């Protein structure tokens, strides 16, 4: 349901990303350090105003 709404509602998209962060941290599919780095960057950027999230994410990732 969240994914269907994410296309049209920024807060629903943010919620979907928050679920992704939880999954990323728990999956064990990559090193814990990398998973934490990505998850921290995503969480930090999601805390910003909607119009600043994309730039905040690239800044957090050092891109």
Q: What is the CA radius of gyration of the chain?
A: 12
Q: Coil, helix or strand for 56?
A: helix
CA distance 36 to 33: 5
**What is the predicted pLDDT for the residue at 35?**
85
Tens digit of pLDDT for each residue in 5-43? 767 777 788 888 888 888 888 887 888 888 889 889 988
Task: Tell me the backbone φ, ψ of residue 47, rounded to 5 degrees.
Answer: -80, -5
Statement: residue 1 has pLDDT above 80: no
Tokens at residue 50, please?
């909607």
- In this prediction the pTM is 0.71
Tens digit of pLDDT for each residue in 47-56? 999 899 999 9
């Amino acid at each position: 349901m969240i994914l269907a709404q994410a296309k049209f509602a920024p807060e629903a998209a943010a919620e979907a990303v928050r679920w992704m962060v939880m999954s990323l941290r728990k999956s064990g599919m990559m090193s814990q350090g990398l998973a934490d780095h990505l998850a921290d960057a995503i969480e930090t950027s999601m805390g910003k105003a909607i119009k600043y999230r994309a730039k905040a994410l690239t800044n957090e990732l050092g891109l």
